[in-house]
Amino acid sequence: MSSNKPQAITDTQYNKSHSEIMVVITALMLAMLLAALDQTIVATALPRIASDLHGLSKLSWVATAYLLTSAISTPLYGKIGDLYGRKKIFQISIVIFLVGSALSGLSQTMNQLVLFRALQGIGAGGLISLVLAIIGDVVPPRQRGRYQGYFGAVFGVASVVGPLLGGFLADAHTLLGVAGWRWIFYINIPIGIVALMVIATRLHLPIKRLEHKIDYSGASLLTVASAALILVSVWAGITYTWTSWQILTLFLVGVIFSVLFVFNERRAKEPIIPMNLFRGSIFTVSVIMSLLSGVIMFATILYIPEYQQIVRGYSPIKSGLMLFPMVLGLFVASLVSGRLITRLGHYKPYPIIGGVLLIIGLWLWSGLGLHTSEFTLGWWMVIIGLAIGLLMQVPTLAVQNSVPFEKMGAGTSTTTFARSIGSSFGGAVFGTILISRLNTHIHNLLPQFKGSINASSFSGGTASLSHLPIYIQDKVLRAFVGAFHDLFIYAIPIAVLTLITAVLLKEAPLKDVAKEYAEGEGFSLGG
């Protein structure tokens, strides 16, 4: 009969050289790239996909289905990985993602695509959360910053490469006899197979034998609560108004089931999210920081390209290329801060610096104009990229360093889940702000057209302006600039809250020696 006490583990995974660890890290980066890239690459190609499958009315559900299932499954993967071992569960998540990708590429109707995208999302939920937890298995906390910096860069690369690749494949009517957009899904398969092979042969994780009891009631409550709140974030201000009965009902359902989930987790033997973790201030503050940084990341990474496409008239591909300064800042900040954390053993200064830079960056972007030079926009993007790079990896590192070893998967996935929820609500809130302020500026600049010209008149971007007289086009573009200005101004208080949480984050010494870390958590390292 299995025991609750973890059994002996070998020390092979802790004594790897840097080059050996990098082999595993590369495979993990490929897996994370699959999940990060899939969101940006598909979004660019959605109009072409909807046209080919004759399902324009269901276009939004292609993205929503993926978002729903990936967010809901994220905390579940963390807990299941703690119980059954992360390597096996991680491999399963990759397989699910690849099967979903292949089926999405074969879809003949929009209904099929929505269903297979949901399957893809179930796999994606494990890719990001388990990657970060596996790093915690392979590398002691003191050394993790050195490697986690690479993963922050993956998201930046995905934000640029995704629109470029998605636009290229969508524009290619056929490629090797297959519709170009279908390769958006097929391209995942060879990358995933390589990651699977490396993980199977080179990744060796601690062996744990625990008495398992799945929290089915908690999983059900979390699923309903998450689905309701994510649908609020997707539909509010776009499909339905914030005060509509549909949104209010969904929000009420989300709150009620969230409360029921918390009560359930406090009594469950094997809770999905152990509530006692919130007794530690490091864990609580890190989760809040992840939530807030998710909101801000969405406001910047999504709406800066929108400004470039709508106001500057750039194509999706060009606007993606114009994000390079932000990606460069993110990449440099992630790598440099990671190496400094490893060398000096301190992680608290970096999110504080990131919070300050974020406030400065948003304030600078609030001053954008109709003809702000690309050089100026580039420097502003570098500052935002540096801020995000300094903020992104520390919450995960702090959590992994503070929670018990056997709860590391649940702790890591909770911070990832918080960032996902923050991103969803950031999109909804700032999208509503943009539309509301755009209507206000249009009415102020063109009072004679009040009621006949509003935000909905320009859902097609700058192409919707072509039929209007030049002087009206200029006024509308200035209204867009004013709306983006307001959006970044309204984002500053969120950045201030992010800075406050960074200041409140307590710093615990990063454990340096693998043997000390593992044995301190009840493991023994075998020879």
Partnered with residue 175 across adjacent β-strands are 178
pLDDT at res. 248: 93
Q: What mean pLDDT is predicted for residues 280-293?
A: 91
Rounded Cα distance, 381 and 300, in Å: 9
Assign 3-class secondary structure to 154-210: HHHHHHHHHHHHHHHHHHCCEECCEEHHHHHHHCHHHHHHHHHHHHHHHCCCCCCCC
Rounded Cα distance, 256 and 497, in Å: 26
Q: Which range in 29-38, 188-197, 231-240, 469-478 is most confidently predicted, on average pLDDT? A: 188-197
Please, what is the average pLDDT of the chain?
80
The pTM score is: 0.79
Rounded Cα distance, 290 and 392, in Å: 8
Rounded Cα distance, 93 and 74, in Å: 11
Q: Which range in 66-75, 149-158, 314-323 is most confidently predicted, on average pLDDT? A: 66-75
pLDDT at res. 56: 66
Q: Which domains does the chain have, with CATH numbers?
A: 1-212 (1.20.1250.20), 216-268 (no CATH), 277-511 (1.20.1250.20)
Residue ranges of alpha helices (H) inside 188-323 are 188-202, 216-235, 245-267, 281-310, 316-321
pLDDT at res. 17: 64
Report whether 199 contacts 23 (CB < 8 A). Answer: no
Rounded to 10°, the helix 470-504/281-310 angle is 170
Ramachandran region of residue 345, left (φ > 0), alpha (ψ -120 to 50) or beta? left
Q: Encoding tokens for residue 241?
A: 């108004």
Rounded Cα distance, 21 and 403, in Å: 23
Q: Encoding tokens for residue 262?
A: 């918390």
pLDDT at res. 120: 93
DSSP letter for 273, please.
S
Report whether 391 contacts 355 (CB < 8 A). Answer: yes
Q: What mean pLDDT is predicted for residues 248-274?
A: 89
Burial of 413 (0-12, 13-18, 19+ CB in 10 A): buried
Cα angle value 439/444/446 (rounded, 5°):
90
pLDDT at res. 159: 72
pLDDT at res. 131: 85
Cα within 13 Å of Cα(443), Cβ side: 10
CB neighbour list of residue 451: distance below 8 Å, 6 or more residues apart: none
- 7-50: per-residue pLDDT in tens? 333 444 445 666 777 888 888 888 888 888 877 788 777 777 87
Rounded to 10°, the helix 281-310/408-445 angle is 40
Ramachandran region of residue 522, left (φ > 0), alpha (ψ -120 to 50) or beta? left
- 289-348: per-residue pLDDT in tens? 999 988 887 667 777 877 887 788 777 677 777 878 888 888 888 888 888 888 888 889
CB neighbour list of residue 19: distance below 8 Å, 6 or more residues apart: none
Q: Which residues of 455-487 are buried (b: 16+ CB within 10 A; e: fewer)?
A: beebeeebeebeebeeebeebbbbbbbbbbbbb
pLDDT grade for 91, boundaries at 50, 70 and 90 = very high
- 102-125: per-residue pLDDT in tens? 999 999 988 899 899 989 989 988
Rounded Cα distance, 198 and 268, in Å: 36
Whole-angstrom Cα Rg for the chain: 23
Residue of 165 and 381 predicted with greater confidence = 381
> Quick count: other Cβ atoms within 10 Å of Cβ 451?
6
Confidence check: pLDDT of 87 > 60:
yes
pLDDT at res. 449: 66
Residue of 258 and 153 predicted with greater confidence = 258
Partnered with residue 174 across adjacent β-strands are 179
> Quick count: other Cβ atoms within 10 Å of Cβ 312?
17
Rounded Cα distance, 272 and 115, in Å: 26
pLDDT at res. 522: 42
**Any idea which residue has 């109009």 for tokens?**
47
3-class secondary structure, 10: strand
Burial of 445 (0-12, 13-18, 19+ CB in 10 A): middle
Confidence check: pLDDT of 515 > 60:
no
- 435-454: per-residue pLDDT in tens? 888 888 888 887 766 666 66
The CA-based diameter of the chain, rounded to the nearest angstrom, is 82
Of 292, 296, 386, 378, whose CA–CA distance to 334 is shortest? 386
pLDDT at res. 465: 64
- 159-194: per-residue pLDDT in tens? 777 777 877 787 777 777 788 889 889 989 998 999
pLDDT grade for 57, boundaries at 50, 70 and 90 = low
Rounded to 10°, the helix 110-138/408-445 angle is 130
pLDDT grade for 3, boundaries at 50, 70 and 90 = very low
Q: Which range in 30-34, 211-215, 514-518 is most confidently predicted, on average pLDDT? A: 30-34
Confidence check: pLDDT of 68 > 90:
no
